[in-house]
Chain A
Amino acid sequence: MSTERGRIQISGFDTEDIDDQDPLATASELESKEVESRWQKIVSNIVRDRLALGGFVVVAVMGLAALLSQSISVGGVTIQPLSIVPYDPTETAVGARYAAPSLSHPMGTDRLGRDLFSRVVTGGRYSISIGLVVTALAATFGVIYGSISGYFGGRVDEVLMRILDIVFAFPGLVLALILVALFGGGFWPLVGAFALVGWATYARIIRGEILKVKQNEYVLAAKALGARDRTVIFRHVIPNAIAPVIVQATLSIGTVVIGVAALGFLGLGFDPGTPEWGTILDAESDTLATGAGGDWYWWATVFPGLMIFVFVMSMNIIGDAVNDALDAQVDDIGGGG
């Protein structure tokens, strides 16, 4: 790349150096310190705020329990040997049909005598892992898309934003529902559907931030020194515009968890009998119809829903704490959707 800028001859350094600079070199030492303190701030905020700490503990316990509930093997190799739940979540008749909660079945049993506690604990696997993967994919793509749009501006921005408007014209859940209905259910189709629906929010948020950050003199300085667009975007612009994206990502895990469960409840996404929270609710929802005189097997519908509620609530509490720590002012939209 030429270092000539008009009539002013710039010499004495190589632009490649700016592009390929070691991140630990003197110039970026300040920057990395700033990032570190931001994460420290989030952590200290969560620890100080007892509610947020509680939320974090709940999320950690539920996530770990789901991970350790059953052994996991990939391609015949066991990578997680533990099975901490008392019964196999898919094994029928481990107790009586619709046995009330007791010591041996803390959440009772379902219509086929399966242990609800085992099913509900294992059920976290589907929603939580999909929530995490979707958020990672959607945030990555959305951030790149929104950054390009905001950084280059002009006609590029105009076109990319119109495309975004089209995505926003579909309510997320409806689009995900149609995608899953057309392409079938299962883990990866669900991830794909929710990621396709979710990226647009990140794109819009980061674009707005980048329009603000772009005005800063250090961006101008980096450009003037001849750094490539890619370097300016990834090293200077995005790190300074990322705070609201982190907040949105924290809040959206809960939204995806609810969305996955909603599709499960609508009978889409998973095979019937899968111990997924929404699918369990779908299978057991007819137990509600038993009238005032009959027995109401309340545990069959209360516990699966309660698990979703508690998890999402904890996630949102963490999101609020992260928001306070970063002072990012994200108005979270969606949630229950």
Chain B
Amino acid sequence: MSLQKFILKRILASVPVLFGVSVVTFALMHITPGDIVDQLVAANPNVPAHESARLRREFGLDQPVWVQYLNWIQGVLTGDFGEVYSSSRDVSSVVLARLPETIILGLFGWVFAVLIAIPGGIYAAVNKDQLGDDVSRFVALSGISIPNFWLGLMLMAIFAVRLDWFPTLDPQTSLLSPSMLWWLILPGVTIGTAAAANMMRIMRTSMAEELNKEYVTAARAKGLPERTVILKHVLRNSLISVTTVAAFLTASIVAGSVVVETVFGWPGLGLELIQAVHLREINLILAITLFTGFFIVLANLLADIVYALLDPRIRDEY
């Protein structure tokens, strides 16, 4: 199968998934007891019955669920996610304002993870079953096991509060200024730790497997320096299996952002989601969840394409 055909096929396969994601998200919000009007009424018991009926009509809540879904999805496709009830802001403008903050944080986490995991994995695989390998395995296992909110709290307590090396308050400066880096480091490291540890373990396993293959013996036998064997031949092949899990790790970073943004008060989508959940802002929860789902489907798609680029055999498996 040609690469173009493969990519097209994968994109087409993503469409029903995205549709399913939107249905599930919408259904989740609408099978729960009580709607936004009940909540407004609960906050202010003096609202008369005809007033709440009027509000329901205004929000379109008196129509059958499938009509509500169609109205909603029609809006979504044109970029209209409705409004935030409590503050009368536009949901899409809220999401767009918060999005860059989350992307920068996630990107930092990703870069941190790759910078730690690839060299760490190579080191562990090359020194397999020696002390260095044992130590790095233990470190990786710790990285997987540590709860990210606690790691964040501890990093903040030690490096920001006690040692005063980093600021912890909301970043007020522009996102692209160099001083942003200081704000980014602690949350970025927190969000990237689990991904780094996971990636390092996968890197070690796949690299150790590659090192046992015959082409490695052949490369060594023809007198190539060990450095060249590892970096030029083995590394390239072992990176393939790392890309296959890259999408999973992206999902873990996205999920992590909810927790980590709350710990550090980072004004991104995750923090917004938690606030929306506490206020039961359905439109906002719907938009952020849908957006997250869309992003993960996209990440899966990209990972598959990169995989197919690196290993052409995969293209025929779909």
Residue pair A301, B24 in contact (C-beta under 8 Å): no
In the complex formed, the residue of B with least CB distance to A291 is B161
Query: Could you tell me the distance between the alpha carbons of A173 and B145 in the complex, rounded to whole angstroms?
Result: 16
Residue pair A171, B251 in contact (C-beta under 8 Å): yes
**Complex partner residue of B147 from A170, A262, A296, A315, CB under 8 angstroms:** A262
In the complex formed, the residue of A with least CB distance to B29 is A182
In the complex formed, the residue of B with least CB distance to A308 is B147
Which of chain A's residues 152-172 have a Cβ closer than 8 Å to chain B?
A: 162-163, 165-166, 168-172
Indicate whether A337 sits within 8 Å of B256 (C-beta atoms), given known contacts A170-B293, A266-B274, A332-B201.
yes
Indicate whether A331 sits within 8 Å of B259 (C-beta atoms), given known contacts A301-B157, A336-B252.
no
The interface bits of chain B over 254-275 (1 if a CB of A lies within 8 angstroms of the residue's CB, else 0) are: 1110110011000000000110
Residues of A within 8 A of B193 (CB): 336
Q: DSSP class of A's interface residues: helix, strand, loop or mixed?
A: helix
Residue pair B296, A169 in contact (C-beta under 8 Å): yes
Does B225 touch A at the CB level, under 8 Å? Answer: no
Indicate whether A166 sits within 8 Å of B24 (C-beta atoms), given known contacts A171-B292, A268-B277, A313-B145.
yes
Does B154 touch A at the CB level, under 8 Å? Answer: yes
Interface band, chain A: 35 or more
Residues of A within 8 A of B256 (CB): 173, 336-337
Query: Could you tell me the distance between the alpha carbons of A165 and B161 in the complex, rounded to whole angstroms?
Result: 43
* Minimum CB–CB distance for A7 against chain B, Å: 38
Does B149 touch A at the CB level, under 8 Å? Answer: yes
Does B144 touch A at the CB level, under 8 Å? Answer: yes
* Minimum CB–CB distance for B14 against chain A, Å: 8
**Complex partner residue of B20 from A166, A254, A285, A298, CB under 8 angstroms:** A166
Does A288 touch B at the CB level, under 8 Å? Answer: yes
Query: Could you tell me the distance between the alpha carbons of A312 and B255 in the complex, rounded to whole angstroms?
Result: 18
Residue pair A292, B161 in contact (C-beta under 8 Å): yes
**Complex partner residue of B198 from A171, A292, A333, CB under 8 angstroms:** A333
Residue pair B277, A317 in contact (C-beta under 8 Å): no
Does A93 touch B at the CB level, under 8 Å? Answer: no
In the complex formed, the residue of B with least CB distance to A169 is B293
Query: Could you tell me the distance between the alpha carbons of A173 and B144 in the complex, rounded to whole angstroms?
Result: 15
The interface bits of chain A over 239-276 (1 if a CB of B lies within 8 angstroms of the residue's CB, else 0) are: 00000000000000010001001100111100000000
Query: Could you tell me the distance between the alpha carbons of A329 and B20 in the complex, rounded to whole angstroms?
Result: 31
Does A209 touch B at the CB level, under 8 Å? Answer: no
Please list 9 pairs of residues, one from A and one from B, whose beta carbons are closer than 8 Å in the complex, sorted by A's number: A168-B300, A178-B28, A254-B145, A262-B149, A304-B150, A309-B146, A333-B249, A335-B145, A337-B194
